[in-house]
Structure 1
Amino acid sequence: MCDTKFTDVSGKNIVLLTPRRDEMGITQKDMARNLGISFITVNRALNGTGYVSEELKQRIFDYAQEHNYVPHKASQVLVRNTSKHISLFSSSLPEYFWNDIGQGVEIAAQQIRPFNYEVTYHRIPEHDSETYLRLLTEDIEKGTDAIALVNQRKYDMPAIFELIQKANIPFVTFNTDAPQSERLCYIGTDYSAGGRLAADFIGRALQLSEKRKVLVIQCNEEDVKVTDSPDINNMRLEGFASVMETQYPQITCKVEYISTKLQPGYKDDQILDVLKKYQDKVQAIYLIPAFNTDFLSALKSLPPQNAITILHDLDSSAVLDLETRMLSAVVYQSPVLQGYYTVKALEQILEEKNPEKIPDIEIVHTLVLAENSNLIRSQNALYFNI
């Protein structure tokens, strides 16, 4: 288990400058209430202390000018008397994916720390429901105010959801949804859409090819699942198959299942054996599960072939293999944004007196090629100034 905790190292309350009411104007709290947005958003816009969209920022500025808002030169110090605690829970593998989630969590945590928010992100070892429930219980007993979690098949999710709901703590789901639960929001992607995007890329690429055969590598998780939480790999396959059947019926697809366990240090040759079996017999290869490292290593151990290759999610090796053309494309779901908006959604919920459901936040897939592989860095710089 790898925990990252973001707290104020001084242990003291953080103070913020906020203007007092001017006789001819209004306060920031008045503006927040009248505009239907949080006080923090108004404060950030007027003080330039965090991200606010340009459209919303302009709306706040216009309202402030229209209602004679004038900050007092000797601004008072605002101290939040109590801290707000946010807890996030996910699995730990693949490590590169949850590292990116953690980066987004940290960026958002830094932005809300001045408002006396503390954010804790737990990454639980695979299949370790006991540790999961213990850490969740500890956070609840310490007084966490809101929770975010991933609805994953490898944990006892009914017991986890029951514990949160009995404690009457507002929570959201991210990465994998649980719409039947009492969650207030889902932050993540449509996995079927990711499969459809992969199918459309392959279909277009093979339109002029004389041979049109595709190998799809899928993972059978029936022997390792703990609960019937969503099977994201199956969602991807369903989306892929739907596009192939309706838009590219001339393309033949063969699905090969592997049973590789996603565990630290686990090695086998199942992917390599599948690739050997279909070497020079297919014109495209689509990897659905998160076995990128094994897949790319297997490709490099075989003689070069002219097959299109596509998989999900970026790690450092995938970026390099895009540039060398070992890999043709990556379906990317921006885990940094997922982590960031998960914390921001919980902040928004906690700023309301009576937490209610808020609109889901869909992270739209991006198709990353060698030509736009620098997109990710540019995207992060755009959103977060990093």
Structure 2
Amino acid sequence: MKITAKTIAEQLGLSIATVDRALNNRGKVSPKTLKKVLEKAEELNYKPNMSASLLSRKKQILIAIVFPVYPEYFWKEIEIGIMKTYKDLRDFGFEIDIIRTKKFDIEEQVKVVQDIINSGDYDGLVLSANDAAPLMQVINAGIESGFPIYTFNNDSPLSKRISYVGADYQDSGRLAGELLERFTHNSKKFALITDKMNTFQMQQKVLGFIDYLTQCNGMESIRPLKISNTELSNLIMELKQDIEQVDGIYVATGALAEVAREIEKMKLSKKPILIGHDMNKEIHHYLLNDVITATICQDPVYQGALAVRKAFDHLMLEEPIKVVEDIVKLEIVTKGNVKYYIHD
């Protein structure tokens, strides 16, 4: 039987209103009555109705959620998770404001974060940091002023941020190295395609990838092939000679589909094993057509949902942060299971 305030009121011969005031520390209740109600609640293992409590308090919270524009397909999935959780929580006075920033414009994102903190309009910030070090100072300044900041997907681990939801990117890089080794079987030469913007996330992927290769006999990587999202097609074609000499390629950037498209155009006599990250319709297409061998996914919908939920629990329910780093699982997607990872 569910124990309610009415149950306690009936057993003590009190009004429901009196019991409600005692349980929620609201209004005048004599110390003697308060003691009786709390003891009976403990005896009956009473669990408060959090929804009713929140609604009765009429508490209002507004948080800003800041993340980049690119790659659009990935952040669209993140936003699906954010909105899914928000729809469950908005009736309790919990509001969100989504703000998008350019992918690698660090100065713009620092300014956006500073403006959010200084505005006085928000009660907290959930942030996907474009890079770790440049944002550390502004995050720390916000935290020290009493402004809660939580990170997701892209972390600033040396900052004083309250919590992080996202992948372990060194593990991502190691997993990519393991996949290349297993798909090529023997001693092989690999290419590592990175972004010209050497962000913290990129550094972690590269560290993990190189770490795995150094532990394996007969595996080597040619110099990192650095690309940018502007004029990507021309850059890939310029790297054709490098690509022709390798057995496998790890695309550590968010440009897996673009790299696959250019490799397909090369009409190579021997297709390299191609490994990268995330999922969209183009990646789905190239997996089915054996241009991409495998991609590593990190459940962006879940990341978005959990990041919002953690901020709600901490700010609205005033619950302490028990897990500072919620590391999401990495999932390997190949031609055989890709149908489960594409959404309309």
Could you state the TM-score of these two structures normalised by the residue count of structure 1? 0.70
Matched, 1:294 2:263: no
2:196 pairs, out of 220, 228, 237, with 220
Kindly provide the CA deviation profile for residues 117-168 of structure 1, in whole angstroms up to 9, marking residues without a partner as x.
1111211124163475257525753532221112323995245325523541
Kindly provide the CA deviation profile for residues 262-306 of structure 1, in whole angstroms up to 9, marking residues without a partner as x.
46xx55511222134432x32212111122242022022111533
2:220 pairs, out of 252, 256, 273, with 252
Matched, 1:186 2:154: no
Distance across 1 between alignment mates of 2:336 and 2:261? 23
Distance across 2 between alignment mates of 1:353 and 1:307? 52
Distance across 2 between alignment mates of 1:118 and 1:197? 38
Report the equivalent of 2:73. Answer: 96
Q: Is the 8 A contact 1:292 1:311 kept in 2?
A: yes
Report the equivalent of 1:371. Answer: 336
Distance across 2 between alignment mates of 1:220 and 1:97? 20
Q: How does 1:113-124 map to 2 (within 5 A)?
A: 113-124=90-101
Could you state the TM-score of these two structures normalised by the residue count of structure 2? 0.78
Q: How does 1:154-169 map to 2 (within 5 A)?
A: 156-158=134-136, 160-169=138-147
Report the equivalent of 2:38. Answer: none
AA in 2 matched with 1:238:
L
Distance across 2 between alignment mates of 1:30 and 1:92? 49
Matched, 1:173 2:155: no
1:152 pairs, out of 90, 105, 130, with 130
AA in 1 matched with 2:225:
Y
Percentage of identical aligned residues: 19
Report the equivalent of 1:331. Answer: 296
Q: CA deviation at 1:371?
A: 0.8
Report the equivalent of 1:227. Answer: none
AA in 1 matched with 2:77:
D
Distance 1:31 1:259, change over 3 A: farther
Kindly provide the CA deviation profile for residues 164-222 of structure 1, in whole angstroms up to 9, marking residues without a partner as x.
23541112111122232221111111101011111111111222x5x622222223325
Please identify which structure carries the higher helix content: 2
AA in 1 matched with 2:220:
T
Partner SS state of residue 221, structure 1 = coil
Report the equivalent of 2:210. Answer: 241
Distance 1:175 1:131, change over 3 A: closer
Q: Which range moves more in the overlay, 296-305 or 338-347? A: 296-305
Q: How does 1:20-169 map to 2 (within 5 A)?
A: 20-22=5-7, 23=9, 67=45, 78-125=55-102, 126-127=104-105, 129-130=107-108, 133-134=111-112, 137-138=115-116, 141-153=119-131, 156-158=134-136, 160-169=138-147
Report the equivalent of 2:28. Answer: none
Q: Is the 8 A contact 2:257 2:286 kept in 1?
A: no
Q: Is the 8 A contact 1:124 1:132 kept in 2?
A: no
Distance 1:96 1:160, change over 3 A: farther
Q: CA deviation at 1:31?
A: 10
- Structure possessing the higher radius of gyration over alpha carbons: 2
Distance 1:252 1:154, change over 3 A: closer
Give unpaired runs (5+ residues) of structure 1.
1-17, 33-62, 223-229, 381-385
Distance 1:241 1:138, change over 3 A: closer
Distance across 2 between alignment mates of 1:128 and 1:251? 35
Matched, 1:269 2:238: no
Distance across 1 between alignment mates of 2:334 and 2:97? 34
Partner SS state of residue 336, structure 2 = helix
Partner SS state of residue 269, structure 1 = helix
Q: CA deviation at 1:19?
A: 5.9
Q: Is the 8 A contact 2:192 2:249 kept in 1?
A: yes
Matched, 1:348 2:317: no
Give unpaired runs (5+ residues) of structure 2.
25-40
Distance across 1 between alignment mates of 2:105 and 2:203? 20
Distance across 2 between alignment mates of 1:269 and 1:166? 46
AA in 2 matched with 1:214:
F
Q: CA deviation at 1:255?
A: 3.0
Partner SS state of residue 119, structure 1 = strand
Distance 1:78 1:251, change over 3 A: closer
* CA RMSD between the two structures: 3.6
Q: CA deviation at 1:250?
A: 1.6
Distance across 1 between alignment mates of 2:116 and 2:57? 24
Distance across 2 between alignment mates of 1:282 and 1:69? 61
